Amino acid sequence: MSTATLDTRVESFTQAPHQLFIGGRWVDAASGETFITPNPATGEALASIAAGGPEDIDRAVRAARAAFDEGPWGRMTPSERGRVVWKIGDLILEHLEELAQLESLDNGKPLTVARAADVPLAADLFHYMAGWATKLDGSSLSLSVPYAPGVQFHAYTLREPIGVVGQIIPWNFPLLMAAWKLGPALATGNCVILKPAEQTPLSALLLAQLIAEAGVPDGVVNVVTGFGEDAGAPLAAHDMVDKVAFTGSTEVGKLIVQAAIGNLKKVSLELGGKSPNVVFADADPDASVAGAANAIFFNHGQCCVAGSRLFVEESRFDEVVEGVAEIAKSIKVGDGFAEDTQMGPLVSDEQLRRVTGFLDSGRSDGAEVVTGGGQIGDHGYFVEPTVITRTRPEMRIVREEIFGPVVVAEPFQSLDDIAALANDSSYGLGAGVWTRDISKAHAMAKRLRAGTVWINCYNIFDAALPFGGYKQSGWGREMGHEALEAYTEVKAVCAQL
Ligand code: ADP
């Protein structure tokens, strides 16, 4: 087994103490406190990180406010701003190996995946959003004001940045989530305070360096590392923040909404999921089995859209479950730096305990574990890819988001049955449909209450595809031109001629 060589730049980056990035300067936390981010493959310390708190959030918000109200950012032409955002994408590609290694070390994901997916997708997002900077148009409007007969008006709309935006992101795709948030915010001219997840702060700190190098003026992007309650909560509550954008658990999403009430800041949320993946009997046999496995096991199941509820039409149920179980058994689980690793460790000890807790609950509720079902070894946070059947709809493993490599599989009889079963969830983030019948595919796509429906594919992401949730999976959309709505205000201007 060959193992990737640690890049010397990554080695010195992880060894250096990490500060907060506020107003274009690197500073210690006001409290002077730090915390350790561990390597999930070993549980050992990886890097020392500044533990930001309310005072640091306040400093960062004031820096962003000043940058928005008085700085050069608002005076740049859209073209200049677009070029700066484009440059961030270029710099991400120039630093692809460093970013991929940091992502693998901090999150646990295979380095091969970080190189092929996380980092290029993050660069793409900035490149895609850069083009929108010059296309944030309003429109001219024809008025017919009934109480002003004979009066003529010239009316138009302007699309303007919201202002100071707090962005709180999770640990499953640390760099990519930063890109999804920062790309549209910057392209539309906002100023940002980014709060990375405490489990995975490293790539956001390198990104802050690249953002400064790209020419983003001081104070436009601030990065405050720290814990949710200490740094995230005061950011969501801060009165000088105009909008908060959050990706994470539905539970914390509800806290964000409550925190935002004080000044009624705008809120966008990308939350949990329990996504159905539906295989019809006429689906391509190999592609549907491989697709069902990929839907749940990609990124160790630590995806908010993980296809964690697999529904298979009765006549093919045993064959598909067996096929997915075979793939589960064959997955090479190991250190993310080993070139043959297909699945790394879960991100943290807490996550390991959460996932194994769900496995225990499924067993005690009487579900059948077809393969997997437990922790691997006692070093690092590794868990077996797991397939479970014979569940009942009320079981916790069927209803709640596990956020690990665990799929529950159930048979179904007809299209009507499956539409109801698939939608029987408080979530509505993603869904998959596998069939060779084009009408059935689109009929299902229409009936599924989910923000994304994949047909004969799964986990396909692109900067142009809007992403977000129905029901308790969130508010608003990220990516695509829909993301611009979440970062702009529309101003109506009406002039009497
Ligand atoms: P998970 O449970 O998967 O770790 P969370 O929703 O707890 O997901 O975390 C997502 C992000 O939200 C992280 O950056 C975390 O620090 C932050 N966070 C956690 N609790 C709060 C809170 N009360 N207010 C604001 N942000 C929070």
Residue whose CA is at the smallest distance from ligand 1 atom 21: 228
What percent of the chain clears pLDDT 70, i.e. is strictly above it? 100
Cβ neighbours of residue 32 under 8 Å, at least 6 residues apart?
A: none
CA–centroid distance, residue 168 to ligand 1 (Å): 8
pLDDT at 119 (0 to 100): 98
Q: Contact 164/241 with Cβ under 8 angstroms?
A: yes
98, 103, 198, 270: the active-site residue: 270
Residue whose CA is at the smallest distance from ligand 1 atom 20: 228
* Interval 190-228: pLDDT, tens: 999 999 999 999 999 999 999 999 999 999 999 999 999
CA–centroid distance, residue 236 to ligand 1 (Å): 11
pLDDT at 136 (0 to 100): 97
Residue whose CA is at the smallest distance from ligand 1 atom 4: 170
Strand partners, 474: 270
Residue to substitute in 172, 225, 252 for testing ligand 1 pocket (most ligand atoms within 8 angstroms of CB): 252
CA–centroid distance, residue 228 to ligand 1 (Å): 5
CA–centroid distance, residue 195 to ligand 1 (Å): 10
Residue whose CA is at the smallest distance from ligand 1 atom 2: 249
191, 198, 304, 384: the active-site residue: 304
Given a cut of 90, whether residue 172 has pLDDT beyond it is: yes
Question: φ, ψ for residue 221 (rounded to 5)?
Answer: -125, 125
CA–centroid distance, residue 250 to ligand 1 (Å): 10
Active site residue 494: no
Q: Contact 40/7 with Cβ under 8 angstroms?
A: no
* Interval 128-138: pLDDT, tens: 999 999 999 99
Q: From CA 137, how far away is CA 491, in angstroms rounded?
A: 11
pLDDT at 44 (0 to 100): 94
Residue 27: pLDDT band (50, 70, 90) is very high
Per-chain mean pLDDT for the chain: 97
Strand partners, 53: none
Residue whose CA is at the smallest distance from ligand 1 atom 11: 170
Q: How many residues does this entry show for the chain?
A: 497
Active site residue 304: yes
Q: How many angstroms separate the Cα of 291 from the Cα of each of 7, 80, 399, 454, 459?
A: 33, 42, 22, 11, 9
Reading the block at residue 390, the tokens are 């014979």
CA–centroid distance, residue 415 to ligand 1 (Å): 38
Atom of ligand 1 nearest to the CA of 236: 25
Atom of ligand 1 nearest to the CA of 196: 14
- H-type alpha helices, 435-475: 438-447
As a whole number, mean pLDDT of residues 224-234 equals 98
As a whole number, mean pLDDT of residues 249-272 equals 98
Residue whose CA is at the smallest distance from ligand 1 atom 17: 228
Q: How many angstroms separate the Cα of 467 from the Cα of each of 43, 126, 470, 473, 483?
A: 33, 16, 10, 11, 9
Q: Across the chain, which distance is largest between two alpha carbons, in Å?
A: 82
Q: N- to C-terminal Cα distance for the chain?
A: 76
Q: How many angstroms separate the Cα of 41 from the Cα of each of 107, 382, 429?
A: 9, 8, 29
Residue to substitute in 37, 49, 57, 168 for testing ligand 1 pocket (most ligand atoms within 8 angstroms of CB): 168
pLDDT at 1 (0 to 100): 65
Residues with CB under 6 A from ligand 1: 168-170, 195, 197-198, 227-229, 232-233, 236, 248-249, 252, 255-256
Residue showing tokens 């436009």: 220
pLDDT at 214 (0 to 100): 98
pTM: 0.98
CA–centroid distance, residue 31 to ligand 1 (Å): 21
* Interval 295-313: pLDDT, tens: 999 999 999 999 999 999 9
Q: Contact 388/407 with Cβ under 8 angstroms?
A: yes
Atom of ligand 1 nearest to the CA of 249: 6
As a whole number, mean pLDDT of residues 53-71 equals 98
Q: From CA 65, how far away is CA 7, in angstroms rounded?
A: 37
pLDDT at 288 (0 to 100): 98
Given a cut of 80, whether residue 113 has pLDDT beyond it is: yes
pLDDT at 205 (0 to 100): 98
Residue whose CA is at the smallest distance from ligand 1 atom 18: 228
Given a cut of 90, whether residue 416 has pLDDT beyond it is: no
CA–centroid distance, residue 445 to ligand 1 (Å): 31
